[in-house]
Structure 1
Amino acid sequence: MAGGGGRSAAPVEVGIVAFNDFHGSLEPPRQSVVAPDGKGGQVQVPAGGAAWFASAVDSVRGKYANHLTVSAGDMISASQLASSLYLDEPAIGVMNRVGVDFNAVGNHEFDRGRDELLRMQNGGCAKFTAKEPCQLEKFTGATFRYLAASTHEPSGATLFPATGLRSFGTGKRRVTVGVVGLTLKGTTDLVSPAGIRGLTFADEADTINAAVPQLKAQGADAIVVLIHQGGKTQGAPDPNGCNDLVGEIRPILSRLDPRVDVVVSGHTHWDYVCDWSAVDPARPFLLTSAGVYGKELTDIRLEIDPAAHRVVSKQARNVIVQSAPYTSSKGPLANTPLFPQFAPRADIAAYVQRYVDASKAFTARAVGKLSGPASKGEGPESNTGGPLGNLIADSQLEATRGAGAQIAFMNPFGIRAAIVPAADGTVTFGDIYQVQPFGNQVVTETMTGAEIKAALEQGFDANGPEQVLAPSRGFAFAFDRTKPVGSRITAMTLDGLPVDPARRYRVTVNGFLALGGDGFSVFAGKPEAVTGATDIDALESWFRAMPVRDVPSEPRVSSGAAGG
């Protein structure tokens, strides 16, 4: 974008390193980033790991004399075991060492409740959860600032500051970047009510628009929004593309004050870079998201006119944090020369290793054997559970037979990683913890056949991204996306017989779904609810019950008019 005339001096360059949804990923997550290979195809790039991430941040920051490092939420929780066992204290420790400046609160920041989140900021060893704090070191809190512009206490005050300012240069060359950070209004649907009791979450666009003039009045030359909400692109994956972006971020963007310069988004675990002026010329900001688990970061370059007090040029690109090769559910995945490979930063690697070593008594314990890799939906299919989703549903069904369970469902967005057993088939506790790091208990409740259909329909409604629930063995359903919303489930069977809309069935889901999480409100408030084991205990018991557990292979969900 060209700047206006009358500039008395060259613009001041400011670099912003942005990321989102780190989720305590201390070690490489054994996942890839899918990117164009430059030849019309795609390449999978092994990526992530805190030490590699730190090196990538340093590499980008090294380009800029003036720089800022920011996160759009979910930095903690739903984390790897080496972080989760220690209440994500090491994730905060990593980010302190990386040099983060601001982090917007995401929905997962509230998983352990308000008081524990405040401890993440302020430090200390007060105990607010079942786990012991400060097990390996005294926790001093985040050196960066949490921002929570839309999260209000009963008094009306925000839980954390709404905004922050960072200035660069002196005299006539001094420029200031204003930052507003917030989570999604729908956080109440994603977090246990006990964790957010007394808190309210305001409208995102209204909150941002109220903050912009305040930041301008405080001298902000550029406005950067960190929002824990996002979208997804369509078609072939492209970390720097913006093809037909859809999602709950769009109606927020359509209402934003045009003085916003950059929107750093998250929540959907998707990667994109959008010049929003191509979508809405009245709102020429950049929209970015850097995927998930520290596998990418965004390099944002602003040029700010210090005399006109505005941004005159802006660019962004996603940088893949290529790290160590690994073996995926589909076989070995090697490094590629198409993208830079980062070396692990030594101080971060040593810090992480301390926590990894301490957690090995948990992670290395064998829980059973599996006949082969159990994959989950990836890329465009990430809204399906795949064979692993079916396996998890089977484990939860078996764990709740005593409560009368006949059917179980697993939400694909609650599956964090595939299971790739060792060469002899061994699966460890660390393997299954990577899959389900939430500690949800499973809940068995009574639903009519009509209510089961209504719940499945919610996976295909217009509220939020599509999500195809993974069913337990014996249950099958078919869907047709061409049908109207509310009529897309075309068949349901249990043990080969049609599901009776009027009959009562015992259905098991995880506690998150039982509270209406992920938009599946039909599961909430059902009668005769019985709370059972944790999801990870159910999965471990499922493995232990057989010498070798087979990966489910039979079709349970089909697209079309016929069921079964």
Structure 2
Amino acid sequence: MDFQDAVAYAKREAATLKAEGCDVVIALSHTLDPKNVAAQVDGVDLWLCGHEHIELSESVTTPDGSKTYVSESGHYLNSVGLIDLNCTMDEDGSVHVDYEKTSVDYEAAQNYPKDASVTAVLDTIKAENETALNRVIGTSPVELDGVWEHIRIGQTNLGNVITDAYLLATGADIAFENAGGIRASIAAGTVTYGDVINVSPYGNYVVTKKLTGAQIKEMLESSLTIQKNCIVANDSGEWDAWPNDSGSYLQVGGIIVRFDPAQPAGARVLSVQKDGQELDDTKEYTVAVNNYLAGSDSYPQLANAAEIGEYSCCEELLIQFFEQGSDAVTASAAKQNMIQTTKETVKPEQPSVPVTPSVPEQPSKEQPKAVKTEVKKEQVSGTKTSVKSPKTADSNELFCWMILLLLSGGAGSICLVQGNKR
């Protein structure tokens, strides 16, 4: 795929169409700041735009002094923009276009009579797609959550399934999926090809790259900052409050991340474990992502890394995962990959002490005293804050009495005695 400069492309195509004798040129645009694009291009009479989810009806001046009309009609078919073009031709053959736009809400638009020729085309397309879209590819015992807001404020079970699908297909150590790449939920029960297409409609494919443990933690820190901003927006109830990069929040697979959102940016990730072991900052890990996320400005660590593998389209890998059976879906959906906790609860692992070592080691002269800590309740990431859980014991502490019995035969044993707990 070759992505060209939008302005240069529009200039070239508009000039070509005018040279071919077109009197009126209409551009279909899906871009940020369409007025700015339109103001740089001569020869286009009308721009029908999308992407910004706004109402826009405005004329702008192009470089040669002409006027062009820029229109955008909201989002999600809440309204439909109807534009009448009134064209007049001067004696010299120049065509002038006047515009009259009417906005109609979705319900009112249903009352407009259907155009028979358009309906026939749509019916043909639907019939051709019906067989493929209704093909059963598996089942899900639970609803898989792909709600727009939910996947931007925390890990969901659908995020688990998607990233596990990438891991299954690639053999990678870790997988990420950007929230913006998930476009629908999947209901419990039979899962069809159409359900999967609704989740992943873009035709992106999966790639793998190598990143160090330190780079992966940096990515997670960036994702947690995005999540925090999204939670604020969600709590506000204002659509405009959502950050522009909300879709860059990461759903994760292959690792367990413990984090504390109360910590300052850069210090929120408390622990990242792969197969029970903390990530090594200097070790390289294979990471699987969709090709859109692979070049994301939000994650330069990923964008700057070399691509080492390419795989099938995201929806095909998801289908392969469902084809394993419902047990695999159940296990994946139940995982807790992102765990919100507090800094105090994450302790370094202590080396285990064998109960009956074959050769007893000399115990240290002073044993460390037990430290009282308040246990905080861990929870899956979301909008709720951590709360204190009830203490599990009185003031009793864990007393470890290590008694080395030196016998004539050289045998020894270690005895562990623990205070009673409620």
Q: TM-score, normalised by structure 2?
A: 0.56
The Cα shift of 1:226 comes to 4.2
* 1:291, distance to aligned residue in structure 2 (A): 1.9
What residue is the counterpart of 1:369 in the other structure?
Answer: 139
Q: Which one of the candidate residues 273, 291, 295 is aligned to 2:75?
A: 291
Residue 508 (structure 1) aligned to one of 285, 288, 301: 288
Deviation at 1:499, TM superposition (A): 3.4
Instruction: Give the number of the structure whose alpha-carbon radius of gyration is greater.
Output: 2
Shift of the 204–528 alpha-carbon distance from structure 1 to 2, 3 Å rule, reads closer
After superposition, the Cα gap between the structure-2 partners of 1:183 and 1:339, relative to the gap in structure 1 and judged at 3 Å, is closer
Contact 2:155–2:252 under 8 Å retained in 1: no
Question: Cα–Cα, structure 1 residues 180 and 343, in superposed 2: closer, same or farther, change >3 Å?
Answer: closer
Confirm or deny: 8 A CA contact 2:208 2:288 kept in the other structure: yes
C-alpha separation between the residues in 2 aligned to 1:342 and 1:385? 42
2:161 maps to which residue? 391
SS in 1 for 2:333: coil
Asked whether 1:499 is paired with 2:285, we answer no
Tell me: higher relative CO, structure 1 or 2? Use CA pairs within 8 A at least 6 residues apart: 1
Aligned residues: 314
Q: Which amino acid aligns with 1:538?
A: L
**Equivalent-residue separation in structure 1 for 2:154 and 2:296 (angstroms):** 16
Contact 1:148 1:162 in 2 (8 A): no
Matched AA of 1:371: P
Q: Is the 8 A contact 2:209 2:307 kept in 1?
A: yes
Q: Which residue does 2:210 correspond to in 1?
A: 446
2:389 maps to none
- The alpha-carbon deviation at position 365 of structure 1 amounts to 2.3
* CA positional deviation for 1:540: 1.6
Question: Hey, what does 1:319 align to over in structure 2?
Answer: 105
- Tell me the distance in 1 between the aligned counterparts of 2:157 and 2:134: 24
Partner of 1:48: none
1:62-211 alignment, distance < 5 Å? 149-151=7-9, 158=12, 160-161=13-14, 184=31, 207-211=37-41
1:556 aligns with 2:326: no
Deviation, structure 1 residue 164:
9.3
The alignment status of 1:431 with 2:195, answered yes or no, reads yes
Whether the aligned pair in 2 keeps the contact of 1:395 and 1:538 (CA below 8 Å) is yes
Alignment CA distance shift 1:150-1:528 (3 Å): closer
What SS does the corresponding residue of 1:501 show, helix, strand or coil? coil
Q: 1:356 aligns with which of 113, 126, 135?
A: 126
RMSD: 5.1
| Alignment CA distance shift 1:347-1:539 (3 Å) | same
Unaligned 5+ segments in structure 2 are 87-95, 230-242, 344-377, 381-422
Amino acid at match of 2:140: L
User: 1:52-63 counterparts in 2 under 5 A?
Assistant: none
Partner of 2:187: 420
Query: 1:127-167: CA deviations, max 9, x gaps?
Result: xxxxxxxxxxxxxxxxxxxx964437xxxx62x217999xx
Q: Take 2:180 and 2:299, find their aligned partners in 1: how far apart are those partners?
A: 12
The DSSP-based 3-state class of the residue aligned with 2:180 is: helix
The Cα shift of 1:505 comes to 1.8
Helix, strand or coil: the match of 2:310?
strand
Aligned to 2:418: none
Deviation at 1:435, TM superposition (A): 1.9
In the alignment, the residues of structure 1 paired with residue 196 and residue 16 of structure 2 have an alpha-carbon distance, to the nearest angstrom, of: 39
Report deviation, 1:371.
0.7
> Alpha-carbon deviation of 1:375?
2.3
> How far 1:440 sits from its partner (Å)?
3.2
Is the contact between residue 160 and residue 253 of structure 2 (CA under 8 Å) also seen in structure 1?
yes
What is the deviation of 1:299? 5.2
> Amino acid of the residue matched to residue 208 of structure 1?
A
**Aligned amino acid, residue 358 of structure 1:** E
Q: Distance in 1 between matches of 2:152 and 2:83?
A: 27
Alpha-carbon shift at residue 430 of structure 1 (Å): 2.3
**AA in 2 matched with 1:471:** V
In the other structure, the counterpart of 2:239 is: none
Shift in Å at residue 370 of structure 1? 0.7
Structure 2 residue matching 1:151: 3-state secondary structure: helix
Is the contact between residue 14 and residue 25 of structure 2 (CA under 8 Å) also seen in structure 1?
no
Q: Secondary structure at the match of 1:541?
A: helix
Say which SS state the counterpart of residue 39 (structure 2) adopts: helix
Alignment check: 8 A CA contact 1:448 1:502 kept: yes
8 Å contact kept, 2:220–2:269:
no
1:409 is aligned to 176
Residue-by-residue CA offset, 1:13-45 (whole Å, 9 max, x unaligned): xxxxxxxxxxxxxxxxxxxxxxxxxxxxxxxxx
Closer, same or farther: CA 356–183 of 1 in aligned 2, 3 Å? closer
Tell me the secondary structure at the aligned position of residue 509 of structure 1: strand
2:195 & 2:152 partners in 1: Cα distance?
19
- Structure 2 residue matching 1:432: 3-state secondary structure: helix
Kindly indicate whether the alpha-carbon contact (under 8 Å) linking 1:149 and 1:207 is maintained by their aligned counterparts in 2: yes
Residue 408 of structure 2 corresponds to: none
Q: Please give the alpha-carbon distance, in whole angstroms, between the structure 2 residues aligned to 1:556 and 1:478.
A: 11
Aligned equivalents of 2:29, 2:109: Cα separation in 1: 32
- With over 3 angstroms needed to count, the CA separation of the structure-2 counterparts of 1:428 and 1:260, relative to structure 1, is same
